[in-house]
Amino acid sequence: MQDFTRKIAAWLTAQLPGSPPVEVIEASEPAQGFSSRTVLFTARWPVGGQLRERPLVARIQRDVAVPMLADVFHQHRVMTAIAANSSVKVPGIAFAEHDPAVLGAPFFIMERLYGRVPPDFPSYQLQGWLAELPEAKRTRCWWNGIEEMARLHRIDWRCFPFLSGGTQTPPDAVFYLDRFVGTWFDWARNGRSFPVIEDALAFLKAHAPPATTSGLVWNDARLGNTMFATEGIGVVSLLDFEVATLGPPEIDLAHWVYLDEVFSENFGVPRITGLPRGAEAVAGFEQIYGRPMPQFSYFMAVAALKILILSVRSYANDKHMGTPAALPDFLVDRLAWYLAEFKAGR
């Protein structure tokens, strides 16, 4: 951290008006994160005879195994566009540097927000502040996250031209399956054959429902990427847009629901009460989004397929989460379950 502290302090000094001497304190690097290094720190400098402090987060590009995570500025562009076209709660971008000479790799710096995030490991389904909330508050917390995500989905998809690939029509489920799911699978399979995945991908592309609305797909929509107030259950920020793309909002909604299943049943953890699922969840989504979602099981199958593909090849880049062993049988069975629901018209 001493090398980072010295270099980023000198760089920030040159960025600020008047070049006041910047001191960097309390720098630390959390263990999580796949696509980039994350360094938390506080910058301190004199202003008018007093010291000003600003908590910040540096996201630094690192060599990654998967090409879809290779550009640290993908997240930068997405969050900048979100902030420019909405009031959705995301961290503000403070600085950016494309020249790798400063820290050895390109980076950007965003504001550091404070709140609490439901933990993935140990699962929020098992312990932690969310599990300790009264059931009614836990349910309200879950829906608060959905309501903030709905505001994200209301941004016009054309506000993200760097994600559209030149398409002139609203991106639908096939666009998403081609541009993200299929691309990730082509990398993950590494020349191998996975008939269950191949057949499911072909079926979902052939039977995609028409897109009612299109917009930004957060693509990692889950409680664990949502920061809530330290006191209370209001949303402070949506986090982590490393793999954001475009498509129907149902993709994110289904992923949100499906990850509740992954962090409970997939890991042998009892599911806590108060987190909606099934018809209850869909009814709430329809009310918030103001339209029916009659083929939601299709998008649950898309979510199940995506998570199954993510299990095929490691993309952790030496980051170890200390998770229980993955249970591929659960992922395969749950994909089959939701495909069967869709085929049965449920």
Length of the chain as a residue count? 346
Low-confidence residues of the chain: pLDDT under 70 = 31-34, 316-327, 346
Give which of 41, 69, 68 is closest to 54, Cα–Cα: 41
Q: Which of 144, 12, 7, 151 is nearest to 88 (CA)?
A: 151
- Asked whether residue 183 falls in the same domain as residue 72, the answer is no
CA atoms of 89 and 148, how far apart (whole Å) = 8
Interatomic CA distance for residues 284 and 220, integer angstroms? 20
Q: Taking the complete model, does pTM exceed 0.95, yes or no?
A: no
Is the same domain home to 137 and 97?
no
pLDDT score recorded for residue 266:
87
Does residue 216 share a domain with residue 175? yes
Give the pLDDT confidence score for residue 31 in this predicted structure.
Answer: 65
Number of domains in the chain: 2
In a domain, 206, yes or no: yes
Quote the pLDDT of residue 5.
96
196 and 79 both lie in a single domain: no
Domain that holds residue 242: 129-343
Flag whether 116 is in a domain: no
Task: Return d(Cα 8, Cα 10) in angstroms, integer.
Answer: 5
183 lies in the same domain as 75: no
Specify the CATH number for the domain of residue 307. 3.90.1200.10
Give the residue from 83, 111, 139 where a domain finishes: 111
Under a CB-based contact definition with an 8 Å cutoff, are residues 335 and 195 in contact? Answer: no
CB 90 within 8 A of CB 225: no
245 and 336 belong to one structural domain: yes
In tens, the pLDDT along 232-249 reads: 999 999 999 999 999 999
Which neighbouring-strand residues pair with 60?
Answer: 37, 107
78 and 145 part of one domain: no
Is 81 a domain residue?
yes
pLDDT score at 322: 42
Q: Does residue 283 sit within a domain?
A: yes
171 and 241, same domain (yes or no): yes
Q: Is residue 224 part of a domain?
A: yes
Same-domain check for residues 99 and 160: no
> Considering 111, 138, 160, which residue would you say is the last residue of a domain?
111
Q: What is the CA radius of gyration of the chain?
A: 21
- Domain stop point among 51, 84, 111: 111
Residue 60 belongs to a domain with what CATH number?
3.30.200.20
> Is residue 48 packed enough to be buried (19+ CB in 10 Å), middle (13-18) or exposed (0-12)?
exposed
Closest by Cα among 268, 272, 297 to 282:
297
User: Does residue 300 lie within any of the structural domains?
Assistant: yes
Residue 47 has, within 13 A of its CA and on its CB side, a CA count of 10
Quick: pLDDT tens for 87-99. Answer: 999 999 999 999 9
**Same-domain status, 169 and 231:** yes
What is the end-to-end Cα distance of the chain in Å, rounded? 54
Residues 40 and 10 in one domain: yes
- The answer to the question of residue 123 being in a domain is no
- pLDDT value of residue 325: 45
Token pair in block for residue 154: 């209301």
- Give the pLDDT score at 33: 57
- Tens of pLDDT along 44-67? 999 988 999 999 999 999 888 788
Shared domain check, 327 and 190:
yes
Helix axes 328-343, 195-206, angle to 10 degrees: 30
Query: In this structure, is residue 328 part of a structural domain?
Result: yes
